[in-house]
Amino acid sequence: MIKRNPCMANIRAGYLFPEIARRRREFAAAHPGAKIISLGVGNTTEPILPHIDGGLVKGARDLGAAETYSGYSDDGLPELREKISAVFYRGQFGLDEVFISDGAKCDIGRLQLLFGAGTPAAVQDPSYPVYVDGSVLAGAAGGWEGSGYRGISYLPCTAENNYFPDLSKLPANCLFYFCSPNNPTGAVADHEQLAALVQAAIQKGVIVIFDAAYAEYIRDPGLPKSIYEIAGAKQCAIEVNSFSKPAGFTGVRLGWSVVPKELKYAGGESVNADWNRICGTIFNGASNIAQAGGLAALDSEGLKEIRELTDFYLGNAKLIRTALRGLGIVCTGGDNSPYIWAQFPGRDSWEVFAEILEKCQVLTTPGSGFGPAGESFVRFSAFGHRADVEEACGRLGRLK
Ligand code: PLP
């Protein structure tokens, strides 16, 4: 018999969201008829808006006619790569530096192949679970601090440091996963913080995987939407991004990664050339239908729709934040991100999760599921129908 991949034994049991789903089923079975409202997961709920939807329809129709049929698009349709560079990066990247993908999560998984098993990783603590679990699967021995595993460093991001890590603790020669606007804390790094991050990465030989999946939620014009707004970032950072949260493409699947030509390994080899090779070898490109939708999303009408959709979710976020603050609960986020990070000092996150589910029939995400520094927090997600969010906010009053 063939042996199991030993990395599988290193991964924590029960990925966070399946565990929440299990507890939801358990609660629903014990309380038949209860209307549970989810403010837990980051899945989008609102329909794709008409102009962008029209792009998807056109993409499908084009496949049905000889004149417009298309097959593999390899690293992505050139016109989409060009448009992404123009819209998000002021045209500073060539087509061969923008790689279209089936989503940011998939790219985060595949990017690990560039560096191989045993590459040390560092994460903001708390962080989006894929950075840790993906690193463990790729062979960085991992797990919670104190679990006896080595290979993954957790850099606490707490109220005390304004949710920005102490960069003096960043290990040398590691991959550092950095997410801004942050999932789960909702914090957005400013220019000075990102400049300090870039400087530290260059000094320490670190490559930053910058996850900008929520950049379109930034409303404060002074905050950076991309790490490439910082001089020097091309030498030390890969950026992953996605149409999922700005355009409602969670079920369509479309994202991109930018791998600048300036980015080199310790031996001077090109990271960009290797990424091109990996994409051509184990990934045959994103769906042409999804890419037609992506092209429409980046037209001026599409960009207006992105604004409209993200405004809607930010409206939900404001309702949630106001309801929580009205109860005297300290929370951050929700102004430039769709997540609200609520603090319950001295309490266990899963216990708070259970109390909110029990008293309000509202589903949240326990902060400890995102890392040890998430203990005593729960995350509220602004992805939901307005009527449900309003009802959930009313029910939160039962926590008084
Ligand atoms: N990055 C972050 C920080 C996320 O929160 C998510 C989804 O919740 C993703 C990436 C996944 O994006 P995609 O749908 O493009 O795979």
What is the tens place of the pLDDT at every residue in 334-343?
999 999 999 9
- The residue-averaged pLDDT of 321-330 equals 97
In a domain, 113, yes or no: yes
- Cβ of 20 closer than 6 Å to ligand 1, yes or no, is no
Can you tell me which residue has the tokens 């056109």?
58
Condensed to tens digits (0 to 9), the pLDDT of residues 158-199 reads 999 999 999 999 999 999 999 999 999 999 999 999 999 999
Angle at 289 between CA 99 and CA 128, to 5 degrees: 50
Report d(CA 121, CA 140) in Å as an integer. Answer: 7
Q: Which atom of ligand 1 is nearest to the CA of 179?
A: 3
Angle at 182 between CA 181 and CA 184, to 5 degrees: 140
Same domain for 267 and 199, yes or no, is yes
Report d(CA 3, CA 8) in Å as an integer. Answer: 11
pLDDT at 147: 42
For ligand 1, pick from 183, 238, 239 the residue to mutate: most ligand atoms within 8 Å of CB: 183
Q: Which atom of ligand 1 is nearest to the CA of 249?
A: 14
Condensed to tens digits (0 to 9), the pLDDT of residues 64-97 reads 999 999 999 888 899 999 999 999 999 999 999 9
Domain tally, the chain: 2
Report d(CA 224, CA 307) in Å as an integer. Answer: 17
* C-alpha of residue 53 to centroid of ligand 1, in Å: 21
Nearest residue by C-alpha to atom 1 in ligand 1 = 213
- Cβ of 42 closer than 6 Å to ligand 1, yes or no, is yes
Give me the CATH number covering residue 244.
3.40.640.10
Angle at 128 between CA 308 and CA 137, to 5 degrees: 135
pLDDT at 161: 96
- Cβ of 16 closer than 6 Å to ligand 1, yes or no, is no
Condensed to tens digits (0 to 9), the pLDDT of residues 343-389 reads 999 999 999 999 999 999 999 999 999 999 999 999 999 999 999 99
Nearest residue by C-alpha to atom 2 in ligand 1 = 213
Condensed to tens digits (0 to 9), the pLDDT of residues 238-261 reads 999 999 999 999 999 999 999 999
Which structural domain range is residue 42 located in?
Answer: 6-48+302-399
Condensed to tens digits (0 to 9), the pLDDT of residues 384-395 reads 999 999 999 999
Question: pTM for this structure?
Answer: 0.96
Give me the CATH number covering residue 306.
3.90.1150.10
Q: Which long-range contacts (CB under 8 A, 24 or more apart) does 55-58 make?
A: 55/292, 55/293, 55/294, 55/295, 55/296, 55/297, 55/299, 55/302, 56/252, 56/289, 56/290, 56/292, 56/293, 56/296, 58/292, 58/296
Q: For residue 369, give the 3-state DSSP assignment.
A: helix
Same domain for 57 and 170, yes or no, is yes
pLDDT at 397 exceeding the cut of 70:
yes
